[in-house]
Structure 1
């Protein structure tokens, strides 16, 4: 879109559903100094916009000035998860094979840089996590004790084909979604990080969470042992401000 703006070329976006719906926002805001190819602009990890709405947001808030044209969808509503559309699931990325994986992705993916497999190359990537040094039964039990809404946990052994520990047998946890509407994936990621840091401080590299989480303050809170619910609460003011801005770019109710 930036290059189109430079060349004065009209830029068209054929809009499509956000697999996670368009109502919920969660996670910390991206630190301005952490922008990269995979983290373009300071927004939260889960931003609750379609690609067309996001294009409008970027074009205006980042002052791109492109001649942007968004072709909207018909009959899509903000409370729709992908299954509500009746459309066949086509993976938006080779690793996002299932709709459940897309729901869990924001919180599970951040673990990868810290030495944890997220199931890449298996049939259920982002629906499981593990490492050779993890006791899957202990971690699953610890997570179940948290009573996280819409989630259940079971120990699982798997061999990832890609990412950390590729080709190695990993002991880990399978994440089962029982109610997608109440799942908060970023809270899940914090809970997992807290448990792994506490149980395996020599193996779990908390500092490297910042690469995908994009917020140094949140990583420091995890290192300092701040309870996950308090970390989530610390995001509320920034998320409220972002929510007010993003609403200007809504194309759907």
Structure 2
């Protein structure tokens, strides 16, 4: 119905225009033209209003496309800037961690280099990490790897020119000579994939939770006096010859980022012992 009315309306306008054209030579033509113009003016305005948005879109299509390209370029530039800022922030954090690590260890560890953990072994029970330093930086198999406060984290087991693998002290294959600071009793500190156990401590040795465990120089595989952990549980089974002692590592082995490798240490040689007094 609406379409029919619109067609009739425009047909009427068309025929009115033809009539004005035919009567234009007559004296009354001017008056008729003015009246007809006034009559059709609303329709003309309506048509103009209807097509105006379409006209604007066509006229400004180029500008819209240009603005879209500019917005896309700005978004890319913003993403690059944010990535650069994140990289700078991570670099600053790594530098601060390395400086704090060096300051906490001091000169007692001898010659050291800083290294960053770049990979962690995901296998269950395997506790090892890969560092971004290798033989070019002086890293050798058997060198201790330290965390904050000269705490032992692990020992280097594999090395190439630019990378090295460290077996953490909680690994199932880890076994190091250790001693109880309070009694000076030695034992074997072994990992089970999650925690540490100090084995071969006789039943008659007094051991209590909180006792500090240090590295021992027995065997010459580690420098003496490095902090390792604190006793958390003690059990003395009646039918066994040794106590069952659980030790918590002092280093945070789950969140290692920056470490120190004792490049001045050679297994089987003497170095100046680290302090054996824990605060």
Considering the TM-score relative to the shorter chain, is it more than 0.5?
no
When you count strand as a share of all residues, which structure comes out higher? 2
TM-score normalised over the length of structure 1: 0.28
Query: Greater relative contact order (Cα 8 A, min sep 6): structure 1 or 2?
Result: 1
Structure with greater Cα Rg = 2
